[in-house]
Amino acid sequence: MTKKVLVIGGYGRIGKSVAQDLLKYTNAEVTITSRQTQSEIHPLKFLALDLSDRQQLDQAISQQDLIIHCAGPFHYRDGRVLASCIDQGIDYIDVSDHRSFYQQVIKYQEQAIAAGITAVLNTGIFPGISNSMVKQGIEQFDQPEKIHLSYVVAGSGGAGLTVMRTTFLGLKHKFSAWIDGKWQDILPYTAREIIEFPAPYGKTGVYWFDMPETYTFADSFPVNTVITKFGSIPDWYNHLTWITAHVFPEAWVSSPQGIEFFSQVSYAMTKVTDRFSGIGVAMRAEITGKKAGEPKIYSSTMVHQDTAIAAGAGTGAIAELILAGRLKQPGIYPVEQALSTELFMEMMNSRQIEIVVNS
């Protein structure tokens, strides 16, 4: 029997990439949604769906075997989609990218276990593939101590306005990071650091940024410190973002109108710069600790020419495994707690995504 998958928010850039990955690597019947009626994208089916209509949402979910939630920004989302999946016994994946959403939905853990559903959060590229790169490194240590995870995106990354909004939503508020064995407040877009990424990116600046991994890694792995830093290419985008975060009045950046203004301006700019910067992504995971009592450093890198396609691959890989019955773990988990390194590498290899181990 053909499995049915509903990609909520599937008309956005990330949602479309997830849907395309499913079409390529599974035999599933894929339906994508948007709030407004859209034209069909053959062979994808389309459903107009407003998440605020609970009856409509429940009905849409009831017809499916797997739900993939791609309708961000997740700063604004509650757990209604996951709650409906639990009530109806249907597996769930999302591309959530903020700890506030994780904290909202993890409260359903016992209900998810009782319902026997597998719910995997934070899938995609970062979070997502990044989580599994770190897990692969952690497994090389007897005593891991520190995680340093860096990401850089060229231009828009091939993503849409939602990703721009997510970036600006994360600029003005301090967040807690796990440093030296305790939670400490960090101001976003501070502590610039030059990281050497693989070609074609090379050395570029990254800054503290609040990611779900900053929060979940402290629970998933026995480490004392977790650092997550993000940067953009060309580098002058970093300086503009820094100014937005630290010079403009908070009311400008924190208000819905301000968020929308900065997102629209940035998106318009990247439409121009994408032509020469590209829309790719690079990530570097560095783990330090001890192996057989001796200090050890491990690092791995990953590069892809299209950030949105890479995000689709990270989510699509989890979906492929769940649909095939190869990933069944009742409960709610971030990627690193649900996906084994063996399955992760198999899925990346099948999608020609190379994880390069540098030490």
Taking the C-alpha atoms of residue 287 and residue 110, their distance in angstroms, rounded to an integer, is 32
Q: Identify the architecture of domain 126-307 in CATH.
A: 2-Layer Sandwich (3.30)
Q: Is the pLDDT of residue 238 over 90?
A: no
Range list of β-strands (E), the chain? 4-8, 29-34, 45-48, 66-69, 91-94, 118-121, 143-154, 175-179, 182-186, 193-196, 203-208, 225-233, 281-291, 294-304, 331-334, 355-357
CA pair distance 65, 92, nearest whole angstrom: 9
Structure tokens at 247: 């010079």
Give 23-79 pLDDT, tens digit per residue: 999 999 999 999 887 777 879 999 999 999 999 999 999 999 999 999 988 988 999
Q: Which residue ranges make up each domain of the chain?
A: 4-124+308-351, 126-307
Fold entry, domain 4-124+308-351: Rossmann fold (3.40.50)
Strand partners, 48: 34
| Mean pLDDT over the full length of the chain | 93
Q: How far apart, in whole angstroms, are the C-alpha atoms of residue 261 and residue 1?
A: 47
- Answer yes or no: is pLDDT of 191 > 90: yes
pLDDT digits (tens, 9 = 90+) for 104-134: 999 999 999 999 999 999 999 999 999 999 9
